[in-house]
Amino acid sequence: MIDAGKMHKAGHAFYQSDNGVWLTDRVPTEYLKIEEKAAGEKTMAQTEITGETLKAWGHIPGKEFGRLLEIAQAGQAAGYGEDQIRAKLEGMKPPPHVPLQNAGDVPFHFNIEASEDEDEVKNLAKVRETMTAVIRTPTVVSAAVMPDACPAGPLGTIPVGGVVAAKNAIHPGMHSADICCSVMMTDLGEADPKTVLDAAEKVTHFGPGGRQNGRRFTLSQNLMDAFRENRFLNNPKILRMAVEHLGTQGDGNHFLFVGKSRNTGRTAIVTHHGSRGPGAILYKLGMEVAERYRRKLSPKTLKQNAWIPADTEDGQDYWAALQLIRKWTKANHNAIHQATVEGSKAEPGDRFWNEHNFVFKRGDLYYHGKGATPAWSDYAADATGLTLIPLNMSEPVLVVRGKDADHALGFSPHGAGRNFSRSEHKRRMGKMTAEQALAAETEGLDIRFPAGGIDASELPSSYKNAGSVVRQIDSFGLAEVVDYIDPYGCMMAGDVPPFWLNKKKKGRRA
């Protein structure tokens, strides 16, 4: 217990500030000094305040419990009565935990159908099950799934093709680690498609890691300065990767596609990738902050659905970081497109892009699209009214105009999606080699895997039926297809080991 007598002898006293917080310091003239008491003196009617006293007053033992006890004992030593102390501590109780919502409380729009195909039926059931768990999160006010929906993690994780609208909350787990995964298209006029693909292969970068010295693009100094001014992005790894990863595409389902417009016959390049290393680290930092809030506000919320309250300083800084990562991702696409234009000596026309893994603010709600394309005209300052939906390497990229459908929360699909996992697809190939499958499924197309061998998990057969997805886009009124970019060829990383496996091997060699 704090010895008030010793504090007074040292020239200190207890006083109460304007905001009601007890302090121990030399008393300024504007505060009322508490009459000094002899060390250890207690009023006969007062008993010593202990941890048991605080528990009886409704305080739950935890991280702040010891500090509250110190404050209570300091107030008692300074001559405050129990009623005053209890009233003071009452205002310092943490808010009550926010419970999960009941199943069925939140409207859930299903813009997907399954035929009698067993894989589709099973996928649909899993999507429904996981989304039903997601929408019990306290912040969620509505949700929807698109025709390309498929599970993307443990039960209760927002699926690919999922959209969640939340009140005053940013959920990092709902935009995932590949923040601002997006597609960009540039019209290259009469350029020869092979010349364009050859030029693109020389300038782009697939696979893990970044570019080596001498092969890097220049990042805008203004953007780098803005990163440094944001407390989430002013991180040594992020700042380094912002330079090294510019002009890189990574691996997995990221691609560089060359084709021709069905409307005009003009050549076009389409790239698909996200924010690479900078975004992955921002996601990790965001999840750490969200987890702290989850433990404090809603421990029963699933960890992957933790949120950062948007009206806090953390929320405002994270929102600003997302907008800067979006700018970086756009610059990443632009670097590859411009270098390809120069390498192919093409005469570029229109260029536009859209993200499909991001958080969008509309009114007072935050819309989380996990593999879902915004389908309203002014979702961003640089929106053109047109967006892109790729399907697979042997199918056209759709150029669409979104219909801002209420039952889809204003979104459309981002691609074709899967009915089963990558590993299951490889298992079903049986004795067929990746080379045989590629030849059979992409006959006449120029398909390249510059960073590794053929990635069989990215073949057209690993995705949902493209025609079915396109029909559902129309039948659910999600978007209007205004053009098709028919494929000439496509580049993807290929079958490269996961980055964490490369790290393990390097560690063993060391």
327, exposed or middle or buried, with CB in 10 Å at 0-12, 13-18, 19+? middle
Domain-located, residue 216: yes
Which residue ranges are tagged as binding site for GMP? 390-393, 414-417
**Dist. CA 344–CA 326, nearest whole Å:** 27
| C-alpha to C-alpha distances, 192 to 198, 265, 468, nearest whole angstrom | 10, 11, 31
Same domain assignment for residues 178 and 85: no
Domain-located, residue 218: yes
CB 292, CB 357: distance < 8 Å? no
User: Residue 110's beta-bridge partner residues?
Assistant: 145
Displacement of CA 159 from its chain's centroid (Å): 13
> What are the backbone angles phi and psi of residue 162, rounded to the nearest 5°?
-105, 150
> What are the backbone angles phi and psi of residue 187, rounded to the nearest 5°?
-75, 120
Mean pLDDT, consecutive 10-residue segments, the chain of 510 residues? 42 43 39 35 65 88 86 90 89 86 93 89 96 98 98 96 99 97 99 99 97 96 98 98 98 98 98 98 98 96 98 98 99 99 98 99 98 98 98 98 98 96 91 95 97 94 95 98 99 82 46
Same domain assignment for residues 296 and 422: yes
Same domain assignment for residues 41 and 179: no
The pTM score is: 0.84
3-class secondary structure, 123: helix
Q: How many CB atoms lie within 10 A of CB 190?
A: 9
Same domain assignment for residues 212 and 84: no
Query: What is the tally of helices (H) and strands (E) in the chain?
Result: 14, 19
Same domain assignment for residues 68 and 179: no
Longest dimension (CA), the chain: 96
Q: End of a domain among 90, 124, 149?
A: 90
DSSP 76-91: HHTT--HHHHHHHHHT
Domain-located, residue 107: no
Per-residue model confidence (pLDDT) at position 500: 52
Q: End of a domain among 44, 61, 90?
A: 90
> What are the backbone angles phi and psi of residue 372, rounded to the nearest 5°?
-145, 135
Q: Which contiguous run of DSSP H or E holds residue 65?
A: helix 65-77
pLDDT in tens, 67-99: 989 999 999 998 898 889 999 888 887 778 999
Domain-located, residue 430: yes
| C-alpha to C-alpha distances, 199 to 35, 217, 221, 454, 499, nearest whole angstrom | 84, 16, 27, 21, 27
Same domain assignment for residues 327 and 427: yes
Per-residue model confidence (pLDDT) at position 28: 34
Same domain assignment for residues 71 and 188: no
In this structure, are strands 411-413 and 169-170 parallel, antiparallel, or unpaired?
Answer: unpaired
Per-residue model confidence (pLDDT) at position 380: 98
Domain-located, residue 147: no
Same domain assignment for residues 45 and 181: no
Residue 460 is part of a domain; what is its CATH number? Answer: 3.90.1860.10
Same domain assignment for residues 177 and 85: no
Per-residue model confidence (pLDDT) at position 9: 38
Same domain assignment for residues 82 and 197: no
Domain-located, residue 110: no
Amino acid type, 353: W
Domain-located, residue 335: yes
Q: End of a domain among 90, 117, 140?
A: 90
Which residue out of 8, 59, 414, 425 is catalytically annotated? Answer: 414
Same domain assignment for residues 47 and 183: no
Displacement of CA 47 from its chain's centroid (Å): 53
CA angle 165–291–169, rounded 5-degree value: 25
User: Residue 24's beta-bridge partner residues?
Assistant: 14
Task: Calculate the dihedral angle through the C-alpha atoms of 141, 145, 151, 154, rounding to the nearest 10 degrees.
Answer: 0
Domain-located, residue 126: no
Same domain assignment for residues 84 and 230: no
Per-residue model confidence (pLDDT) at position 329: 99
Three-state SS across 142-204? EEEEEEEEECCCCCCCCCEEEEEEEECEECHHHCCCCCCCEEEEEECCCCCHHHHHHHHHHHC
Domain with 29, as residue range(s), is 4-90
> What is the tally of structural domains in the chain?
2
Which residue ranges are tagged as binding site for Mn(2+)? 254, 272
Per-residue model confidence (pLDDT) at position 499: 59
Does the annotation mark 109 as catalytic? no
**Dist. CA 295–CA 350, nearest whole Å:** 48
Q: What are the tokens at 388?
A: 């892109």
In this structure, are strands 160-167 and 169-170 parallel, antiparallel, or unpaired?
Answer: unpaired
Three-state SS across 314-358? HHHHHHHHHHHHHHHHHHHHHHHHHHHHHHHCCCCCCEEEEECEE
